[in-house]
């Protein structure tokens, strides 16, 4: 640490100007943004990012998965890279901080290091990952880069095949090349990410900075209940094969199961799609979008088995067929202890109160945790609002957390000197 100038900080005015400009791309009239992955709005944000990278005299790069990067190469041709990332895509009609804060703080970190001519013993790369939110393919960019995406995942995207094809066409990407974005793990020196907390714990604890200890595992499934369509007014109530009943019974059972037996876990049914879908037809098919999360692998497996059993029970009870299709799986991830210490000491240096916490939401950092030293910094979310235009982080907290990312990066690279 002694070699790091104690006064170095990010350029707050430039960071704010960037944040305000980016917030206008895909802006909604209620202070949110609508930038689903590979939509026109998202591609506009990426085009703007590319210009900012070029204006900063950094090397710009796009890989086969569409990940956009600003690179500050090591003067001595190092063959390892510290990645600092997040994402510029948003959920539909989401907030302006989720992902964007991390990408802009990463870019600002590289700019300041470049301007100050700081000795960089490894390559530094600020990266905007494709589709972190999983609108088309869950973690498409970071999973492709780390070799965690496979052909099956691309052939069966959770956002729909046609939607993926359209998005890739808009972005000028080829599905057949995406897996080539994989990098050799030995080239990854580490991964850092700043993100908003998306929950209320930092605010409630009066803490300025979250130091993430682990990220919950996430699985997503389509659960299909299959019955028989019938006239809603002629088939007796006790003689129906109503797919909607199976779906509803499972939904309630899953909710109760997690509430009663899995206090550290989450389950969500984000959608139920009926076929046919009409007032006067008993639905033949009901497809549920199911997602669940657990903090460690053992609980994850336990919960998975329990939910699948509940789904089968619901089908049996209502005399329905059932199909269960895995759409995406992301293992729980533990953050590197030394990187956590660097984050804590960076926050201490800046006089900020830090708090260790687990992340329920998934992040690109998950893809890297088993490959290289990985760490995540959280900025407080006001009232914990997230995936909503209400999402907000005070500007003071944005600046503080970006400075913690900057200082953690300096410490990380100085440990490599
Ligand atoms: Zn995010």
Q: What is the CA radius of gyration of the chain?
A: 23
151 domain residue, yes or no? yes
Residue 286, domain member (yes or no): yes
Q: Give yes or no for a contact between 84 and 69, defined as CB atoms under 8 angstroms apart.
A: no
Phi, psi of 271 (to 5 degrees): -160, 145
φ/ψ of residue 147, rounded to 5? 75, 20
CA of 99 to the centre of ligand 1 (A): 4
Cα 386 to averaged position of ligand 1 atoms, centre (Å) = 9
If asked whether residues 65 and 168 sit together in one domain, one would say yes
* CATH number of the structural domain spanning residue 284: 3.30.70.360
113 lies in some domain: yes
Ligand 1 centre to CA of 144 (Å) is: 17
Tell whether 3 is covered by a domain. no
- Give the per-residue SS3 of 102-137: HHHHHHHHHHHHHHCCCCCCCEEEEEECCCCCCCCC
191 and 243, same domain (yes or no): no
The pLDDT of residue 75 is: 81
Same domain, 197 and 232: no
Residues 55 and 196 in one domain: yes
Tell me the CA–centroid distance for residue 76 and ligand 1, in Å: 34
Calculate how far, in angstroms, residue 89's C-alpha sits from the geometric centre of ligand 1.
8
Domain boundary among 330, 362, 381: 330
- Residue 152's CATH number: 3.40.630.10
Distance of CA 42 to the CA centre of its chain: 15
Tokens representing residue 92 in the block: 């539909």
Q: Are residues 230 and 308 in the same domain?
A: yes
- Whole-number Å distance, alpha carbon 289 to ligand 1 midpoint, is 20
Q: Give yes or no: residues 285 and 377 share one domain.
A: no
Residues 162 and 203 in one domain: yes
> Mean pLDDT over all residues of the chain?
95
Q: Do 309 and 349 belong to one domain?
A: no
Distance from the CA of 32 to the center of ligand 1, in angstroms?
14
The alpha carbon of 132 and the centre of ligand 1 are apart by a number of angstroms equal to 7
Using the 3D structure, point to which of 330, 352, 387 is the last residue of a domain: 330
The 10 Å Cβ neighbour count of residue 350 is 17
Query: Which chain residues have CB less than 5 Å from ligand 1, an ion?
Result: 98-99
User: What's the domain count of the chain?
Assistant: 2
Residue 253, in any domain of the structure: yes
Distance 86 CA to ligand 1 centre (A): 7
For ligand 1, the distance from its centroid to the CA atom of residue 120, given in whole angstroms, is: 28
Whether the CB-CB separation of 290 and 267 falls below 8 Å is answered with: yes
The conformation of residue 362, written as its DSSP 8-state character, comes to: -
Shared domain check, 98 and 17: yes
On whether residue 144 sits in a domain, the answer given is yes
Residues 249 and 116 in one domain: no
What spacing in Å lies between the alpha carbon of 363 and ligand 1's midpoint?
6
What is the C-alpha to C-alpha distance for residues 19 and 300, in angstroms, rounded to an integer? 37
Spacing, Cα 95 to ligand 1 middle (Å) = 10
pLDDT score, position 3: 59
Does 140 share its domain with 164? Answer: yes
Give per-residue pLDDT as tens, 220-235: 999 999 999 999 999 9
**Domain span holding position 401:** 12-215+333-414
> pTM, whole model, 2 decimals?
0.85
Residues 6+ apart with CB under 8 A from 410: 4, 8, 113, 118
Distance of CA 212 from the midpoint of ligand 1 (Å): 14
Gap between the Cα atoms of 270 and 104, Å rounded: 30
Centroid of ligand 1 to alpha carbon of 125 (angstroms):
18
In a domain, 56, yes or no: yes
Q: Is residue 259 part of a domain?
A: yes
Last residue of a domain, one of 285, 309, 330: 330
Structure tokens at 87: 């994402």
Q: Ligand 1: distance of its center to the CA of 252 in Å?
A: 28
What are the pLDDT digits (tens) for 175-210? 999 999 999 999 999 999 999 999 999 999 999 999
Q: Please indicate, yes or no, whether residues 310 and 337 belong to a single structural domain of this protein.
A: no
> What is the rounded (10 degree) CA torsion for 61, 331, 222, 164?
10
CB 103 within 8 A of CB 88: yes
Q: How far is the CA of 195 from the centre of ligand 1 (A)?
A: 7
Ranges of residues in the chain with a pLDDT under 50 are 1-2
Give the other-Cβ count within 10 Å of 390's Cβ: 15
């Amino acid at each position: 640490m002694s070699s790091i100038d104690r006064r170095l900080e990010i350029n707050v005015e430039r960071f704010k100007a960037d944040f305000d400009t980016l917030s206008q791309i895909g802006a909604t009239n209620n202070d949110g943004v609508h930038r689903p992955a590979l939509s026109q709005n998202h591609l506009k944000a990426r085009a703007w990012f590319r210009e900012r990278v070029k204006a900063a005299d950094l090397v710009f790069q796009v890989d086969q998965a569409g990940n956009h990067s600003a690179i500050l190469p090591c003067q001595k041709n190092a063959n390892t890279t510290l990645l600092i990332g997040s994402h510029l895509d948003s959920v539909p009609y989401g907030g302006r901080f989720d992902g964007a804060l991390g990408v802009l703080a990463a870019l600002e970190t590289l700019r300041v290091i470049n301007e100050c001519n700081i000795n960089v013993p490894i390559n530094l790369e600020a990266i905007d990952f494709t589709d972190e939110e999983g609108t088309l393919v869950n973690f498409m960019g970071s999973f492709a880069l780390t070799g965690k995406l496979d052909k099956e995942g691309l052939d069966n995207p959770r956002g729909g095949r046609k939607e993926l094809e359209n998005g890739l066409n808009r972005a000028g990407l080829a599905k057949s090349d995406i897996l080539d974005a994989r990098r050799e793990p030995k080239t990854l020196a580490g991964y850092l990410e700043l993100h908003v907390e998306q929950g209320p714990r930092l605010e409630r604890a009066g803490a300025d900075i979250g130091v993430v200890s682990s990220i919950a595992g996430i699985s997503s499934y389509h659960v299909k209940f299959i019955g028989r369509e019938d006239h809603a007014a002629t088939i007796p109530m006790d003689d129906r094969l109503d797919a909607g009943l199976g779906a509803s019974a499972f939904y309630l059972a899953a909710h109760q199961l997690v509430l009663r037996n899995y206090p550290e876990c989450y389950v969500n049914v984000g959608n139920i799609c009926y076929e046919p879908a009409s007032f006067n037809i008993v639905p033949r098919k009901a497809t549920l979008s199911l997602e669940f999360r657990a903090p460690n692998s053992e609980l994850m497996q336990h919960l998975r088995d329990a939910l699948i059993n509940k789904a089968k029970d619901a089908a049996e009870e209502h005399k329905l067929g059932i199909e269960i299709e895995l759409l995406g799986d992301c293992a729980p991830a533990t953050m590197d202890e030394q990187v956590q210490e660097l984050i804590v000491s960076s926050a201490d240096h800046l006089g900020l109160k830090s708090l260790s916490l687990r992340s329920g939401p998934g992040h690109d950092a998950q893809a890297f945790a088993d490959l290289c030293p990985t760490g995540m910094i959280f900025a407080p979310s006001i009232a914990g609002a997230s995936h909503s235009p209400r999402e907000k982080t005070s500007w003071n907290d944005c600046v503080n957390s970006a400075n913690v990312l900057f200082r953690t990066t300096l410490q990380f690279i100085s440990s490599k000197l």
